[in-house]
Amino acid sequence: MFVSITNDRSLHPSTLGDLGLTSTSNAVINLSEFTYKKGTEVFGENEPAEYVYQVKTGAIRSYKLLADGRRQIGAFHLVGDVFGFENAGVHRFTAEAVVETTARLFKRQSFEGMATTDALLLCDLIRLTTRNLKHAENHLLLLGRKTAVEKVAAFLVEMGERNGTDNIALPMSRRDIADYLGLRLETVARALTQLKKAGALSFTHRNHREIILLNREALARLDQEDFVT
């Protein structure tokens, strides 16, 4: 749903624990696994939503397009993330593999069937949707009001947090990052060199999907944090 569910380790283990759900319902079935080659489409905007997906390995980008090809990536889905759940029967964005990616598939019908009976599961789905909404809301602030350097700094902080370390290997290209942040790829490159010069990060390899070592404090200084009362 255009936004990722980060792997929430606080959820109870259960039948659906791997999906990040607390419900003990046995209605989720039809598990299967599929591998998508780099760049291939998992599903397209306005296609019927048949499955719900969970990333096992790799990374997914989900995006919307304007008629002239301008692209806005709404979220990257990393290992453990659940994506593709739609309340309506139709996907509102396109999902593609950033690199070779393996995903588990859950039949959507399974959810629908139990929807009216299993309140616990419904609560889980609200929580899932709410998490997506929260991510989207924060991204609105970033897209509308942050500068290029602040956007890139915020992106790196997000990736670091989702990875749980300050050592991150970005699976996506500069173009993908740019389309996530509402920038051009050259601007992303320039911001990264600026951040490096400012000591906010360093490259431990100098090959092209490099491993980046983050300096959290310096990044936090450059990323305008949200104002909290």
- Could you list the residues that contact its own copies (CB under 8 A)? 1-3, 44-46, 64-72, 74, 87-88, 92-93, 115-120, 122-123, 125-127, 129-130, 132-134, 136-141, 143-146, 179, 181-182, 224-229
26 binds, among DNA, its own copies, none (CB under 5 to 8 A by kind): none
Residues that bind DNA (CB under 7 A): 147-149, 173-175, 182-190, 192-193, 206-209
Closest to its own copies by CB, 122 or 213: 122
**Among 37, 38, 42, 18, which Cα is nearest to 28's?**
18
Place of tokens 């990257």: 76
Instruction: Give whichever of 59 and 128 is closer to DNA, judged by the CB atom.
Output: 59
Q: Identify which of residues 13 and 69 has a Cβ nearer to its own copies in the complex.
A: 69
- Closest approach, Cβ 73 to DNA, in A, equals 14
What gap in Å lies between CA 49 and CA 114, rounded to an integer? 17
Q: How far is the CB of 145 from DNA (least distance, A)?
A: 9
Task: Between 31 and 65, name the residue whose CB sits nearer to its own copies.
Answer: 65
Query: What is each CA distance from 177 to 29, 151, 157, in whole angstroms?
Result: 35, 10, 13
Name the nearest CA neighbour of 204 among 188, 215, 219, 217: 215
In the complex with its own copies, which residue's Cβ is closer, 25 or 54?
A: 25
Name the binder of 92 from DNA, its own copies, none, CB < 5-8 A by kind.
Answer: its own copies
Residue 148 near which of its own copies, DNA, none (CB within 5-8 Å, type-dependent): DNA
CA pair distance 201, 168, nearest whole angstrom: 11
What is the rounded distance in angstroms from the CA atom of residue 144 to the CA atom of residue 7? 27
Binding at 169: pick from its own copies, DNA, none (beta carbon under 5-8 Å per type): none
Q: How far is CA 122 from CA 48, 173, 196, 221, in A?
A: 21, 36, 45, 40
User: Least separation, in Å, of the C-beta of 141 and DNA?
Assistant: 14
The dihedral of CA 193, 198, 200, 206: what is its sign? positive
Measured distance CA(166)–CA(216) in Å, rounded = 8
List the single partner that 206 binds among its own copies, DNA, none, CB under 5 to 8 Å by kind.
Answer: DNA
